[in-house]
Structure 1
């Protein structure tokens, strides 16, 4: 993607420690847009959802079950999780193991909601996320943070807060094509369980379906990546200037 048209905005945010927070459901495009915003403006990038996936991978790796909540919460609290916040090559290391690819499997998709719903797990990872954001702000580089309840719980003080959304069927088709290679038949049904059903479960413990006070909603249903990115960049420009 070409970022030259955002050069002036990049110069404007340079050294400001800008924090951009993007909430939204699965398939809304928040990861793609967040990575592109970070790359275009030379900001750090944090996928907070991947941190919950990393925790789920760790619990599964140890043979634990989310039903044993106290054991799981203690394990995640002491887990060594390190994040490489680079927009186009983010990496997540658990106890020194690179799990960037392992956390994207269907199996992790199926178990992550049960792990992320545990209050102790959420407390631990939100604290880690806030530490990463604080470090990025203090370094003056800044960061784009995306995931669930980012604008309301994790980074309510972010200068730019966005709820990126799209209608359910559009989101479902996007994820089916990305994950299954098709948006028809069994592939679509399989993705429905992984995306729509998971969103319903996650919505019980996180707030990512409606924009709170001071949060701007951007609907990507009828826009492509470039158009959605333009809308986000215009909002950032308007907010900080």
Structure 2
């Protein structure tokens, strides 16, 4: 399924309120892992919007599109055959028939993705794709958890649940360097520099009006997950 995936029984979305959960935040806050588990526990679809920008970056590099050529990258964003697997137990990313899950996490691509993610025309195109996918997943599974950097404010400002997960820079660097098996200083450019670039086009460091802040600086992963689940459950009861 183009930009989707067989994520469960479509009957889950019938006869019940569809829930959209939007989770924003910088790298190293735990938002990706938490988002996947929240979606999994409820049987909902999961969407990693950041992976969509990474996939476009990979496609441009593969097709020799100059990332500094804004109009060319914008054209690529309109036509590339993005395939997002949205099962939270096994999310996947492909362009056409080519799976690129590992490729989009390579350090060199990470260093260059900001050139694509800060292109405002690209963001406008991606926003429409993301909104369509969120609606599709909510209809199919009864809910969706989408995570990224501007989901709560731009992509889905009317989502039932809007959460900003944050953490101190020290905590974020420590977590990500552990994940990448690298030093904190080696990780800094990937985390801090990327956040600085992305913050020029999206707000993900402070909670906007109506967005619930979850600071995970001093929380274990289990505590972070419990905090988000509590917020989601409260919205479902309401």
Q: What is the alpha-carbon distance in structure 2 between the residues aligned to residue 215 and residue 139 of structure 1?
A: 26
Alignment of 1:123-134 (within 5 A): 123-134=124-135
The count of residues paired between Structure 1 and Structure 2 equals 224
CA contact (8 A) 2:44 2:138 kept: no
- The alignment status of 1:90 with 2:86, answered yes or no, reads no
Which runs of no fewer than 5 residues in structure 1 stay unpaired? Answer: 1-10
Which range moves more in the overlay, 96-105 or 135-144?
135-144
- For residue 33 of structure 2, what is the aligned residue in structure 1? 32
Equivalent residue for 1:227, pick from 223, 229, 235: 223
Query: How far 1:140 moved relative to its partner?
Result: 4.9
Query: The residue matched to 2:84 in structure 1 has which SS?
Result: strand
Alignment of 1:51-200 (within 5 A): 51-179=52-180, 181-182=181-182, 187-200=183-196
Please give the root-mean-square deviation of Cα atoms over the aligned residues, in Å: 1.4
Equivalent residue for 1:216, pick from 212, 215, 233: 212
Q: What is the alpha-carbon distance in structure 1 between the residues aligned to residue 215 and residue 124 of structure 2?
A: 30
Residues 128-149 of structure 1: CA deviation (Å, up to 9, x unaligned)? 1000011122235211000011
Residues 12-62 of structure 1: CA deviation (Å, up to 9, x unaligned)? xx9422111000011011001101101111111000000000000001111
CA contact (8 A) 1:56 1:108 kept: yes
Residues 134-173 of structure 1: CA deviation (Å, up to 9, x unaligned)? 1122235211000011100011111010000000010011
Q: What is the alpha-carbon distance in structure 1 between the residues aligned to residue 137 and residue 128 of structure 2?
A: 14
How high is the TM-score relative to the length of structure 2? 0.91
Q: What is the alpha-carbon distance in structure 2 between the residues aligned to residue 96 and residue 16 of structure 1?
A: 34
